Structure 1
Amino acid sequence: MRSTSASCSPSLHASWRYRTGLVLALCLVAATGCGKDDVDPQPPSYFQPDTAALDVLPGVYPNAIDLTGAGSLDVAVLGDETLAAEELLAEEATLSAPEGKAKVRALAAGTARDVDGDGRLDAILSFSVPELKAAGVLTPQTAQVVFGARTRGGATVSARDSLHDVHHPVLRFPPPTGPHAVGTLEDAWTDEAREETLTPASGDKRELKVRFWYPARARPQAQPASYFLTWREGELVAWTQGLPPSFYSFFFAGAVRGVPLADGEERFPVLLFSHGYGMATALYSGVAEELASQGYVVVAISHPRGGGPLVFPDGRVVDELVQLTPLDPALNTRVQAQWAADARFVLDRLTALDSSDPAGRFTGRLDLGRIGAFGHSFGGSAAAELCRTDARVHAGLNLDGTFHGNLEVQVQVPFLVMNSEGAEGDLSRDLFFQHLGATGYDLDLQGAGHLTFSDLVLALPLIRFDSPQATASEYQLGTLDGQRSFTLVNTYVRAFFDKHVRARPTPLLDGPSAEHPEVELVVHLP
């Protein structure tokens, strides 16, 4: 039933700066390891930091335009604490392509209005569609546009938003099924108590990025956030995976950035998440949004040098990747311990946020007596290590990951392992259940591939737009329909945490389900 080939398993300090193709970049096939071709181009270099937020085609989502038409294109520059609509110099406003130098000036400024429902006026500007097409800003390949302007005080305003031809395929996520709207935000934290052991420089401290998905106050006027909250990061991740840099610009999820937590005084249980080796937290937005809609605060940890490239708030790019391999279990164990330590640090920071969040969002709203941990592949094994080493965690879940470390040291909390068809022969999973000191759930998802447990399970039509001959098997997406896979994974992840974090009755986990014939479930009692 098991195979080590299903692990995103990991010599140190190798750079991401080569095109590998998606599967090899993720080191999913232990027999072949990480591939490297002869091409070594530099990553895209046309990025600039955003100083404002832009909403192209206010009220329309996703932002699609028929390039056969004429007329004008409206954009809204969203007002905030640092930018008032009346301060923007409309006569200097321009739109350009991210990689282009041609800039098109605004035709006119419209009447300022509150576009996103936050109570602030937003500047409205119109641009000529024929001029944008003539300048190469709008093409059939367009994924984003970049806005530039100045304020009356001389400050530079820059922002970007997605925009694509109406005929270009996109990935629009199924809406979450829970009663809550979903908010999202990201932050960067430094653990001053820990040295960074994966860099050659001495004295470096361990830096992390974290992304939150949380139950939010509904703001239906607001445009959902971009899939990667940092545009540059999404382009770099796609580039390292051998995909077009704009690939993730065509992913449209539903969470709104920075909105307040849901009204009331309810404390929400917390779920920590660790990505797969070589992956990025954004690539699990689907399951995170579903859980947040059901009343969980999901905190996804980006583990530097273990995932895709990261862009920190100051613009620094961390794109090195420690090269893990099944032939070096000591290194695997060392990196896993570091990821578990990352999670413990994040729990400490969450405790401080619950006590006093400078932004006021999470103060008194995190139920730190109800905590779960989960992850994909290497991140799933790291979740087990966290359960083994931190009594604050009450349940754990591994999405198709080989286990690393000393498996004879018991995990004492309920644990679910979800397996792809490629997991057959992975003895680490059998050994894990032999030593599990609590209820265990061994779930086989028939027709699943290793990346079925990420958002990429929905992306094959978009992949085929650029690579028409692409198959599900070469991208490890399995043979089960992507939408069905997405629903099943979300359903069982939620059921497990509802039962073992919220203590809610969940008959779905009692055994086989006639409604889900693709699932084979074995329950191990302690």
Structure 2
Amino acid sequence: MFTSSRVLAVLLAVLVSGGAVAAGRQPARAATDRVAAPVGAPTPAPAGLSLPAPTGRYPVGTTWLHLTDDDRPDPWRPERRRELMVSLWYPALPGSGPAAPYTTAAVSARIVAAEGLPVPPDLLTTVRTNARRDAPVRPTARGWPLVVLSPGFSLSRESLTGLAEDLASRGYLVAGVDHPYEARGVQFPDGRVADCLACDKWSDGTAAAVVEGRRADLSFVLDRLTGRRPAWPGARFLDRGRIALAGHSIGGASAVRTLGTDARVAAAADLDGTLFVPVGPIAKPVLLVGSQRPDDPSWVRDLAGLTGWKRWLTVTGSGHMSFTDRPVLGAQLGLDPGAIPADRQLLITREYLAAFLDRHLRGRPAPLLDGPAAAYPEVVFHTD
């Protein structure tokens, strides 16, 4: 087994820098779905990698769902129905329970193999999370607001765990969606693994197809969580009138696209994602948070079409993967995170996304969104 911190740092360097280039529906679809027990993912080792503790006041629980849309063929494998894996994070009742796995051994192995590096294939199963597997949902009279997260291209849902756990600790129910055949690996409960069929087909045309496919995925997840017979018993504790979407890279582009087509969604946040499919006019709130690079031409193009509340922020010193877990994991293996300390990169994403959601799903004041803040000098407000 390779245990050299230098070799492992090389792996996480690839993980940190890799990744993406970035009217409502009635819930009437037929579907088969079920709560999914983790497959091939041992409880993380105490000496493994870890995510920063959430900042909110609630303990966090998590569970996995396997959803099948019996009415829609998979865009990458049309002979099959579209299947999704979803992680749910939520405010939980206090108590003990098994630590939740970060990802499965099979998914970890595919991420490692994709980079061709001689390192332990189960490296990412050692990540210690802050959520308890299948912990009871904390009841609430009004219901928890729902936030659905979509990861970047070639990434899977675990890449946003640090963000999801934090939102759950603040009183949000969070659904992280895997989009099969667009990630290095997505494992289903029966052990099957969907490899990345789209990864070798990247083009602007592929990107547009990904966005449209994810728009359908995200709306289907809403169908299965907010319909009359939800796929998860804990869905009775969500507030169907307070729903937002957020995503990294092409997941962010898909979130904004879905905001414009699904009346159930109140707001959307795009974390460094090029808008491959033009959006607008959209009168709902949109948050654009970009890494330090030249202005994204698609954001410039579509900004005027965002006619409701909007903010465009740039995080000075950040990179494309700064909005995911990868810098945090890399720093623990000795990798230089760049101009911003790794934990702070995650903190900035947590704070600004939470402020956006608090304002637009809860009606709370969010001074962070009103202008530059002394506590976060890295965050620059774009002016039209």
TM-score of the pair, normalised by structure 1: 0.63
1:122-137 equivalences in 2 (<5 Å): none
Asked if 1 retains the 8 angstrom alpha-carbon contact of 2:245 and 2:259, the reply is: yes
Cα deviation code 1:325-347 (max 9, x no counterpart): 77x43332122111001011111
CA contact (8 A) 1:324 1:332 kept: no
Is the contact between residue 387 and residue 412 of structure 1 (CA under 8 Å) also seen in structure 2?
A: no
Q: Which of these residues, 55, 66, 79, is aligned with residue 203 of structure 1?
A: 79
SS at match of 2:298: helix
- Percent of residue pairs bearing the same amino acid type: 32
The one-letter code sitting in structure 2 at the alignment partner of 1:507 is: P
Is 1:420 matched with 2:291?
A: yes
State the alpha-carbon separation in 1 of the partners of residues 162 and 16 from structure 2: 20
Q: 2-side partners of 1:416 and 1:268: how far apart?
A: 21
Correspondent of 1:504 among 359, 364, 375: 364
Q: Structure 1 residues 236-245 or 253-262, which shifts more?
A: 236-245
Match of 1:461?
331
Q: Who is 2:178 aligned against? A: 302
Q: Is it true that 1:252 corresponds to 2:128 in the alignment? A: yes
The one-letter amino acid of 1:212's match is: L
User: What is the Cα-based RMSD across aligned positions, in Å?
Assistant: 2.6
In structure 1, the partner of 2:145 is 269
Distance 1:213 1:434 in 2: 34
Matching of residue 216 in structure 1 with residue 92 in structure 2: yes
Residue 176 of structure 1 deviates from its aligned partner by 1.0
Give 1:28 deviation, angstroms: 4.2
CA shift digits 1:29-61 (9 cap, x unpaired): 9xxxxxxxxxxxxxxxxxxxx9999xxxxxxxx
Question: Following TM superposition, by how much is the alpha carbon of 1:25 offset from its aligned partner in structure 2, in angstroms?
Answer: 5.8
**Residue pair 2:331, 2:342 contacting (<8 A) in 1 also:** no
Structure 1 gaps, min length 5:
1-19, 30-49, 54-157, 465-469, 473-477
The yes-or-no answer on 1:233 pairing with 2:107 is yes
Structure with the largest fraction of helix: 2
2:258 corresponds, among 386, 396, 405, to 386
CA-CA distance at 1:250 after TM superposition? 2.8
State the Cα distance separating 1:384 from its structure 2 match.
Answer: 0.8
**Could you say if the C-alpha distance between residues 189 and 438 of structure 1 is closer, same or farther in structure 2, counting changes exceeding 3 Å?**
same
Q: SS of 1:209's equivalent?
A: strand
Match of 1:505, SS state, is coil
Taking structure 1 as reference, are residues 392 and 263 closer, same or farther at Cα in structure 2, changes over 3 Å only? closer
Q: Structure 1 residue 442 and structure 2 residue 312: aligned?
A: yes
* Matched letter for residue 235 of structure 2: F
Q: CA deviation at 1:268?
A: 0.5
Distance 1:331 1:173 in 2: 33
Structure-2 separation of matches of 1:22 and 1:179: 31
Match of 2:233 among 345, 360, 369: 360
Is the contact between residue 171 and residue 458 of structure 1 (CA under 8 Å) also seen in structure 2? Answer: no
Whether the 8 Å contact between 2:42 and 2:101 is mirrored in structure 1 is no
Match of 1:339 in 2: 214
Matches of 1:182 and 1:523, distance apart in 2 = 37
CA–CA distance in structure 2, aligned partners of residues 347 and 484 of structure 1:
32
2:67 and 2:41 map into 1 onto residues whose CA distance is 24
Match of 2:53 among 156, 175, 183: 175
Counterpart code for 2:375: E
Give the stretch that moved more between structures: 271-280 or 410-419: 410-419
| Larger Cα-atom Rg | 1
Distance 2:367 2:37 in 1: 49
TM-score normalised by structure 2 residue count: 0.85
**Count of matched residue pairs:** 357
Taking a change above 3 Å as real, the CA distance of residues 270 and 439 of structure 1, as seen in their structure-2 partners, is same
Match for residue 329 of structure 1 among 189, 204, 228: 204
**Uncovered stretches (5+) of structure 2, i.e. residues with no partner:** 1-12, 23-35
CA deviation after TM superposition for structure 1 residue 380, in Å: 0.5
Partner of residue 374 from structure 2, selected from 514, 518, 521: 514
Alignment deviations for residues 250-269 of structure 1 (CA, whole Å, 9 cap, x no partner): 31110001011003434001
How many angstroms apart in 2 are the aligned matches of 1:21 and 1:444?
23
Q: Deviation of residue 21 (structure 1)?
A: 4.9
1:183-202 deviations in whole A, cap 9, x for unaligned? 11111111111111212xx5
Partner of 2:345: 485
CA deviation after TM superposition for structure 1 residue 512, in Å: 0.8
Instruction: Assess, with a 3 A threshold, how the Cα gap between structure 1 residues 492 and 242 changes in structure 2: closer, same or farther.
Output: farther
